[in-house]
Amino acid sequence: MGVAYSVGEVDHLYTFFVQWSPEIYKKSNKKQPQPRYLIREKHQNRYLVVEKNKVAVINKLLSDPANSSAKNWEIVTVQETKRRMSLCSSEDSEAEEPEYQEESEDVLPVLDDHSQLLDDHHLKMLATQMPARTQGYSWQLVYSTAVHGSSLKTLYRNMASLDSPVLLVIKDMQKKVFGAFSSDPFKVSKYSYGTGETFLFSFNPEFQAYRWSGENSYFVSGNLESLQIGGGGSGFGLWLDADLYHGSSFSCPTFHNASLSSQEDFIVQDLEVWTVQN
């Protein structure tokens, strides 16, 4: 039996979809398949049910900086919505705190392979920034310099068949760990790609995430000579060369980030890329 949610007043979102993509949201009396996702208005308890096969398209609309109304909404899973509703309706008590902590721990990414760069502390911090659609799934190692050597071509080749978000983790020669979460797998492309889910992060030394600023959509771009994440200024938020050996990190308008490494130019010691298995 399905769980019913009150959609409340969704006039603003309806107007948004009709204007920018009328085929996404249409009134219909036909019975729809059981949904797994909801669109939530961030500052109100209002939800709009979304079918799973519409999530990717709607997510791109919500990440468009030209649409100011989209910033008020986010896509969450039905499971996450139930959890939030349960927490809001429960009474605050010290006895309930351990139960909530256990549930939070279940959200931590589960790695199918051993990581030379990520420990539990890294995973715990990164989990707070991961989009809801990645939670509850295991992560698979797609590329590692320790396993596959240092080659951007090999990195692209290993992701050729993917259609899922990826997590790039780097350790430089100064032992600093940083990287990026990309809504799309890395590939050679003439134009920038990705959505507002993409973010940069650094453990240098404390964890810091740099989310999309909304100023531009230069999320990810790549060619055979380099991989670039974030841009629009005098440098890229994160840049890697064809040998995945030299890199750089500058403040950029896309994320309003500080340099991820100790120095703006760095040497890669190890690099890993993970993808969610959903």
Task: Kindly report, residue by residue over 214-245, the tens digit of the pLDDT.
Answer: 999 999 999 999 999 999 988 999 999 999 99
When the pLDDT of each residue in the chain is averaged and rounded to a whole number, the result is 78
Spell out the domain ranges in the chain. Answer: 1-106, 108-276
C-beta separation of 168 from 179 below 8 A: yes
**Pairing, β 73-77 against β 199-203:** unpaired
Q: Is the dihedral of CA 103, 109, 115, 119 positive or negative?
A: negative
Tokens of 231: 């841009």
Write out pLDDT tens, residues 18-59.
445 444 444 434 343 444 455 555 555 555 555 555 666 676
Average pLDDT over every residue of 117-143: 92
Q: In the prediction, which pLDDT does 67 show?
A: 66
* Global confidence as pTM: 0.64
Tokens of 50: 């979304």
Amino acid, res. 150: S
Show Cβ contacts of residue 141 under 8 Å, excluding neighbours closer than 6 positions: 111, 112, 113, 115, 147, 272, 273, 274
66 vs 20, residue with greater confidence: 66
C-beta separation of 247 from 158 below 8 A: no
Q: In the prediction, which pLDDT does 109 show?
A: 74
Write out pLDDT tens, residues 176-216.
999 999 999 999 999 999 999 999 999 988 999 999 999 99
Q: Is the dihedral of CA 93, 95, 99, 104 positive or negative?
A: positive
Write out pLDDT tens, residues 152-181.
999 999 999 999 999 999 999 999 999 999
Q: In the prediction, which pLDDT does 167 show?
A: 97
Average pLDDT over every residue of 2-19: 44
Query: Nearest 5 degrees, angle CA 134-CA 66-CA 58?
Result: 35
66 vs 215, residue with greater confidence: 215
- pLDDT above 50 (res 250): yes
Write out pLDDT tens, residues 91-102.
444 444 444 344
